[in-house]
Amino acid sequence: MAAQRGARVVLAEAAALGGTCVNVGCIPKKLYSYAAHFTDDFRDAAGFGWHVGETRFDWKVLKANRAAEIGRLNGVYQKLLVDAGVQIVTGWATVCGPHTVQVRTARGDERFEARHILVATGGRPSVPAFPGREHVVTSDSMFDLDPFPRRLLVVGGGYIACEFASIFNGLGSRVTQLYRGEQVLRGFDDDVRRHVAQEMRKHGVDLRTQSHVVAIEKVNGELVAALDGGGTVTADSVLYATGRVPNVAGLGLEDVGVTLGAHGGVIVDDDYRSSVPSICAAGDVIARVQLTPVATGEAMVIVDRLFGTGRRKLGYDFIPTAVFTHPNIGTVGDTEAQAREKFGAVKIFRSEFRPLKHTLSGSGERTLMKLVVDAKTDRVVGLHMVGADAGEIVQGFAVAMKAGATKAVFDSTVGIHPTAAEEFVTMREPLA
């Protein structure tokens, strides 16, 4: 975008183009989530009169097809950059001064002078120190595990941990998930957390809360995890999904005066300027909202400020997000607890039901939908769903909420029948 506005741009990148999302994040994760859903689809088909023969999952085929698609996307990003006039330099970049970057390339070091420097280096998985840490893998490695883990231990309770537990359970692993807290998905609405945990267990994930690993040993080719309360879990692979940290190590930022926060993120002002005015930062490296569309939005604000009118802004309210557990989560706005703290009096509308599809499939999966309404203004301030295609459904409602839709507007909207989404416009009675 900066190059299209006439700026001379150099992009330094040490890995594949596209960052976490394209290479080891949301894109491959959702492709694997699609793959994992076929287990349920084959089972559900019987209730609709289909007789599905013997099925067999080929992990190598999925990996190869995913790699080919990611390679295609890498090429798309490269073409976009080259066509816009961006000079791509492959290598590790270090900031040497307010206007100087040095890149370590295969040909040797190259030095660049620039009026503006943008740090958009994303984040990386973080694994705590404990005995046996060298035996675990992080989310970056999950897409190419070899061989396929017949028994997978997932440590963590955030969205990455829950997604991979759901995905590998669906693909045929025997999955155990451990989380030291009382309930998974801290920060999400409590009803969503409860419902997702219940549904994941229904799908076959051995989800254990208030439990964590104290040590891991490799014994006869197997990984044996010792638990804090006694007992062990034996697995073929152990995934640690215990958080991500800003990717700032080795960039030279502190040496040139860039201030970092307590967790390593670059501290920026409302215009995404660091403590060194010529150095900006955006995306996961500033540790605000770690979502790809948010990073893109922040970058567009920076481009407009540097090379445009400077009027573009990014609002952090009503950012919709999805979690690709089985079933999916879609959420936008405040949780019930957040709304009560902000507004005091709130009205809660909640519906839990068996989707139409499962009246014939025989599945016990249930859908949860919830609205949080500010009682004083009638504005819908939170919308949450756990169920099939939750992300696709919530995206449209996020537009309405961003525009200030009230519960009266929801009530006056005609629903599409029969869909799960219509439940959001037909809930009439608040909970006592």
Q: Please give the positions annotated as active site.
A: 417
On whether the CB atoms of residues 352 and 195 are closer than 8 A, the answer is yes
Provide the pairing of β-strand 87-90 with 10-13: parallel
Phi, psi for residue 161 in degrees, rounded to 5 = -60, -45
Query: How many angstroms separate the CA atoms of 283 and 288, rounded?
Result: 8
The amino acid sitting at 375 is: A
Name every residue whose Cβ is closer than 8 Å to that of residue 336 and which is 6 or more positions away in sequence. 189, 190, 191, 346, 348, 370, 372, 382
DSSP state of 47: G
What would the DSSP string read from start to end of 272-320?
-B-SSTTEEE-GGGGTS---HHHHHHHHHHHHHHHHS-S------TT--
Using CB atoms within 10 Å of the CB of residue 309, give its burial: 0 to 12 exposed, 13 to 18 middle, 19+ buried.
exposed
On whether the CB atoms of residues 201 and 114 are closer than 8 A, the answer is no
Query: How many angstroms separate the CA atoms of 104 and 95, rounded?
Result: 11
Which neighbouring-strand residues pair with 206? Answer: 176
| Edge-first strand listing for the sheet containing 92-97 | 92-97, 100-105, 108-113
Query: How many angstroms separate the CA atoms of 391 and 384, rounded?
Result: 10
The amino acid sitting at 100 is: T
C-alpha distance from residue 206 to each of 108, 175, 217, 377 (Å)? 51, 6, 21, 43
Taking Cα atoms as reference points, which of 92, 72, 86 lies closest to residue 252? 92
- The count of other CB atoms within 10 Å of the CB of residue 187 is 9
Tell me the two tokens of residue 324. 């690709």
Name every residue whose Cβ is closer than 8 Å to that of residue 117 and which is 6 or more positions away in sequence. 95, 98, 99, 101, 278, 279, 280
Phi, psi for residue 223 in degrees, rounded to 5 = -100, 125
